[in-house]
């Protein structure tokens, strides 16, 4: 139990750190190849910050723990939209100036309804998975198009300022892109192993078929 708890702690810290390096490397690499700032902000950074949840859920599913994968995906979204935004708004009001971000808010609500409907019968089938993935890639395509057409959006200026503050050479950017991804996989393995070991010790099963 002690080793498993330590594995969760080490895995979590390494996961957060490697995710940050991965996003910085990916964003800097995209900038060096000429990708528009708005696309970097909405796609690379936007989806890259979800890399820890995606990798942990993937590792959990591959290890035969679908409950852990599902719980991680849902829990991270609840935490991001509820806890993190709530605490941030308590510290200082959040002003949403980007028109593109405001257009995405109804989509967030709609996707939550769709997922709730798919989970209503207690399982996610391969057909459900196909539907979710189709929606994801459609949303990704829409996001890229909106970012390309949304030149001058306030998010573009914010991304430019952030990228200028964290600029790095091309080789360094590629290094952190690859190293960050590798460390993401390693840290997620450590984290999943620790969580599963503790769950098994406490008699909690995570092998239901979702």
What's the distance, CA 66 to chain centroid?
18
Local structure of residue 92 (DSSP, 8 states): S
Tokens of 105: 């808010």
Which is nearest to 185 in space by CA: 76, 9, 56?
56
Asked if the structure places residue 23 within a domain, the reply is: yes
Residue 208 lies in a domain: no
pLDDT tens track, the chain, 210 positions: 788 899 999 999 998 899 888 888 888 888 888 877 777 777 777 777 788 888 888 888 888 888 888 888 888 878 877 777 788 888 877 776 666 667 777 887 888 888 888 888 878 888 888 998 898 888 888 877 877 776 666 666 677 777 766 778 889 989 998 999 899 989 988 988 888 888 888 877 655 444
Which own/partner contact pairs does 109-115 have at CB distance under 8 Å and 24+ positions apart?
111/135, 111/139
Q: Is residue 118 in some structural domain?
A: yes
**Is 7 part of a structural domain of the chain?**
yes
Determine, yes or no, domain membership for 86: yes
Q: Residue 184 is encoded by which pair of tokens?
A: 């993401």
How many residues does this entry show for the chain? 210
Report the pLDDT value the prediction gives residue 175, as an integer from 0 to 100: 94
In a domain, 24, yes or no: yes
Give me the pLDDT at residue 210, please: 40
User: Does residue 87 belong to any structural domain of this protein?
Assistant: yes
CA of residue 14 relative to chain centroid, distance: 15
Q: Give the pLDDT confidence score for residue 100 in this predicted structure.
A: 64
Q: How far is CA 134 from CA 42, 128, 176, in A?
A: 19, 10, 30
Q: How many structural domains are present in the chain?
A: 1
Which residue range is the domain that position 120 belongs to?
A: 2-201
User: Could you tell me if 14 and 187 are in contact, meaning their C-beta atoms sit under 8 angstroms apart?
Assistant: yes
Q: Where are the alpha helices (DSSP H) in 95-169?
A: 99-118, 126-149, 154-165
Upper half-sphere CA count for residue 9 (Cβ side, 13 Å) = 6
**How far is residue 149's CA from residue 142's CA, in Å, rounded to a whole number?**
10
53 within a domain of the structure (yes/no): yes
Contact status, residue 62 vs residue 200, Cβ threshold 8 Å:
no
Q: Any idea which residue has 């050479």 for tokens?
A: 169
């Amino acid at each position: 139990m002690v080793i498993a708890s330590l594995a969760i702690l080490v895995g979590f810290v390494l996961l957060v750190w490697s995710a940050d390096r991965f996003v910085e490397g990916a964003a800097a690499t995209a900038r060096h190849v000429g990708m528009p700032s708005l696309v970097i902000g909405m796609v690379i950074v936007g989806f890259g910050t979800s890399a820890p949840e995606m990798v942990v859920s993937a590792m959990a599913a591959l290890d035969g723990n679908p409950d852990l994968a599902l719980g991680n995906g849902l829990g991270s979204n609840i935490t991001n939209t509820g806890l993190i935004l709530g605490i941030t708004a308590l510290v200082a009001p959040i002003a949403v100036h980007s028109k593109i971000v405001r257009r995405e808010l109804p989509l967030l609500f709609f996707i939550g309804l769709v997922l709730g409907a798919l989970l209503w019968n207690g399982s996610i089938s391969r057909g459900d998975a196909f539907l979710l993935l189709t929606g994801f890639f459609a949303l990704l395509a829409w996001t890229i198009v909106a970012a390309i057409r949304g030149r001058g959006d306030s998010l573009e200026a914010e991304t430019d300022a952030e990228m200028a503050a964290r600029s790095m050479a091309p080789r360094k950017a590629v290094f952190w892109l690859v190293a960050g991804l590798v460390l993401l996989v390693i840290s997620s393995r450590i984290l999943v192993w620790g969580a599963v070991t503790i769950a098994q010790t406490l008699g909690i099963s995570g092998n239901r078929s979702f």
